[in-house]
Amino acid sequence: MTPETSVFRLNQEGYSAGLPVSVAVLSRDPVILKNAAGEPLGSFTPEIPGMDPASGDEVALLSLGLLPEGAYELQSGPYRRAFTVRPHSWNAVTHALIKGLYYQRCGCELSPAFAGVYTHPACHTAPALDWEDRSIRRKIPGGWHDAGDYGKYVAPGAVTVAHLLYAWKLFPRGCSGDLNIPETGNGLPDILNEAAWELEWLLQMQRSDGAFHHKLTKARFAPFIMPQDDLEPEYLMPVCFCATADAAACLALASRIFRPFDEAFANRMLLSARRAWNWLQAHPDFVPFMNPEGVHTGWYGGRSDVSNRFWAACELYAATGETAFRTAAEEKYQAGFPLTSFGWMDVGGLGALCCLFELGESAGEILYTRLRENSLRQSEYALALSRASGYGTSIPANHYIWGSILPIMCNAMAMILNSLLTGRQDMRDAALLQWHYVLGLNALDLCFVTGYGQRSVMNPHHRPSGADGIEAPVPGLISGGPNKTYCYPQTKEKLGESVPPAKYFLDETPSADTNEIAIYWNSPAVFVGAFFNQ
């Protein structure tokens, strides 16, 4: 029986010893759990609370509790499905999500020694033109291709690096394995090596006055060709408030992380962060980024830069201990913004990470005591959403947006932070359900990470995967997932109105609206994976 005809939905990469095993069942029949020898270990009666609004499924979440290491099978009537419990079941997929960023490297060859069959010559090596002053030409090599396209964007890149750095800082044993990248063995953990690739690029995106250019892209997206064949001119696009603040925050954070390994690199990053901050101080009035006329690449423009300035002030305070940064962070905090958002649009959660796990109680009444209380309160909302969902997924039916994987991973991060601060197991277990969602415990019975699971995404909206002539997509990339909020007319035409939000998904290359990949969707999954892998 193929998995898709089975009534079971589960983590297709298996389960980890020491953590509770949960599966979803689409049947009211009793479920028998058997060991590898086929001997029954127990029987469970699924209790279906009613129709799950997001998926339209009548589904029960079944907790099988803690199971010893081994191979198991579930049976319900004629349906069977096998799974395993192992000590480090998610080690490979967590590291693959980091290695996925290596495959996004720009400006260098991906050689067979590191990239296997997914090789290509160096791409985007020509000097870039300044969009506003075409007499300026600069060579800006490196960075990661942002998503399915070949653009490189400062704010999304800074946020991605921050996820990696905090994953390493908080859960080093969960994400410090070798990745087989060119720097492997140089004395640094590979997760930091991969982050450094983007940081070196980020440093070059700063204008002489301290502001950061928003992005380095073409005027429009390339067709589905390999990156080395994408020869249209690249432009340094105008500077941006949010990008400048995010870069300041990320570079200040990175200066702390890299200082024990490379003092000079740390100093360069801190200097750059200070210059960015000084530019922000000289330009207090937010101006939103808009694509210049004739530019059709990603927007990534924030609606406000308050959470970005807050995050930057927190990280600069942590990096320097200078009270001016603390005062600025306290002042920005009063504006109020979500502390459970860790994506490119709202970065208050990243500032909260800095306050709660770097500065700690010494940050004082506002930045620790009050912020902690607020953060814990906001994470209750994520838990309530998870409990209200048939699959335990922490977004409501009307929040399956473009890249729904991001709010799901942000809620997992928020619940992990809660469990770290309070020791609460209910928070940890609900966060674990979001990790299970990524790897197959969802309404689509699909593993969203390419190359992993029994049924995984095969046709992501990702130019190299579409153009390389290899059937299997580049591995270790996470799909944005179901989206019924703002999707293409052709997606609506194919799926119609009746398909429920959690199933509004097409595993088809053109469907950027449901099946694109992005560096900043990989990275929060790295954070979550590293926590559970540790």
CB of 227 to Zn ion, least distance (A): 4
Angle among Cα 250, 253, 257 to the nearest 5 degrees reads: 130
| Under rule CB under 5 A, residue 227 binds Zn ion | yes
CB of 104 to Zn ion, least distance (A): 9
In the complex with Zn ion, the residue whose CB is nearer, 92 or 108, is 108
Distance CA 11, CA 437 (A): 7
In the complex with Zn ion, the residue whose CB is nearer, 343 or 473, is 473
In the complex with Zn ion, the residue whose CB is nearer, 154 or 439, is 154
Distance CA 513, CA 524 (A): 19
In the complex with Zn ion, the residue whose CB is nearer, 6 or 522, is 522
CB of 194 to Zn ion, least distance (A): 16
Stretch that binds Zn ion, among 101-109, 159-167, 381-389, 493-501 (CB under 5 A): 101-109
CB atoms within 10 A of CB 113: 10
In the complex with Zn ion, the residue whose CB is nearer, 4 or 229, is 229
CB of 178 to Zn ion, least distance (A): 25
Stretch that binds Zn ion, among 4-12, 227-235, 290-298, 451-459 (CB under 5 A): 227-235
In the complex with Zn ion, the residue whose CB is nearer, 226 or 388, is 226
The answer to whether 348 touches 310, Cβ cutoff 8 Å, is yes
Q: How far is CA 344 from the centre of its chain?
A: 10
In the complex with Zn ion, the residue whose CB is nearer, 154 or 339, is 154
465-to-123, 474, 522 alpha-carbon distances in Å: 15, 6, 16
CB of 107 to Zn ion, least distance (A): 6
Half-sphere exposure of residue 77, counting CA atoms within 13 Å on the CB side?
A: 10
318-to-76, 167, 419 alpha-carbon distances in Å: 54, 17, 23
Closest-by-Cβ residue to Zn ion is: 106
CB of 191 to Zn ion, least distance (A): 22
CB atoms within 10 A of CB 93: 26
Identity of the residue numbered 164:
L
446-to-4, 58, 436, 507 alpha-carbon distances in Å: 9, 18, 11, 10
Residues facing residue 71 across a β-bridge: 84
In the complex with Zn ion, the residue whose CB is nearer, 297 or 533, is 297
Stretch that binds Zn ion, among 17-25, 103-111, 212-220, 243-251 (CB under 5 A): 103-111
In the complex with Zn ion, the residue whose CB is nearer, 8 or 201, is 201
The answer to whether 390 touches 61, Cβ cutoff 8 Å, is yes
Contacts (CB under 5 A) with Zn ion, residues 107-166: 123-124
CB of 300 to Zn ion, least distance (A): 18
In the complex with Zn ion, the residue whose CB is nearer, 106 or 273, is 106
CB atoms within 10 A of CB 63: 12
CB of 106 to Zn ion, least distance (A): 3
Distance CA 333, CA 242 (A): 16
In the complex with Zn ion, the residue whose CB is nearer, 128 or 457, is 128
| Under rule CB under 5 A, residue 524 binds Zn ion | no
In the complex with Zn ion, the residue whose CB is nearer, 23 or 123, is 123
Q: CA-based Rg of the chain, rounded to a whole angstrom? A: 23
In the complex with Zn ion, the residue whose CB is nearer, 41 or 126, is 126
CB of 126 to Zn ion, least distance (A): 11
Residues facing residue 43 across a β-bridge: 32
The answer to whether 402 touches 480, Cβ cutoff 8 Å, is yes
Structure tokens at 447: 């593993």
Number of residues that bind Zn ion (CB under 5 A): 4
Sequence-distant (6+) residues with CB within 8 A of 232 are 218, 219, 222
CB atoms within 10 A of CB 111: 12
CB of 145 to Zn ion, least distance (A): 6
Stretch that binds Zn ion, among 212-220, 224-232, 445-453, 508-516 (CB under 5 A): 224-232
Nearest partner of 66 among 432, 409, 387, judged by Cα: 432
Contacts (CB under 5 A) with Zn ion, residues 458-487: none
Quote helix, strand, coil % in the chain, to nearest 5. Answer: 45, 15, 45
CB of 143 to Zn ion, least distance (A): 8
Sign of the CA dihedral running 182, 184, 187, 192: positive
CB of 453 to Zn ion, least distance (A): 28
- The one among 106, 170, 205, 216 contacting Zn ion by CB under 5 A: 106
Nearest partner of 200 among 210, 209, 192, judged by Cα: 192
Stretch that binds Zn ion, among 40-48, 219-227, 482-490, 520-528 (CB under 5 A): 219-227
Stretch that binds Zn ion, among 58-66, 106-114, 441-449, 490-498 (CB under 5 A): 106-114
Stretch that binds Zn ion, among 110-118, 225-233, 410-418, 503-511 (CB under 5 A): 225-233
In the complex with Zn ion, the residue whose CB is nearer, 199 or 395, is 199
Distance CA 186, CA 194 (A): 12
SS3 486: coil
| Under rule CB under 5 A, residue 519 binds Zn ion | no
For the chain, the maximum distance between any two Cα atoms, rounded to a whole number of angstroms, is 75
CB of 283 to Zn ion, least distance (A): 31
CB of 162 to Zn ion, least distance (A): 22
Distance CA 241, CA 213 (A): 9
Distance CA 279, CA 269 (A): 15
Q: Which residues bind Zn ion (CB under 5 A)?
A: 106, 123-124, 227
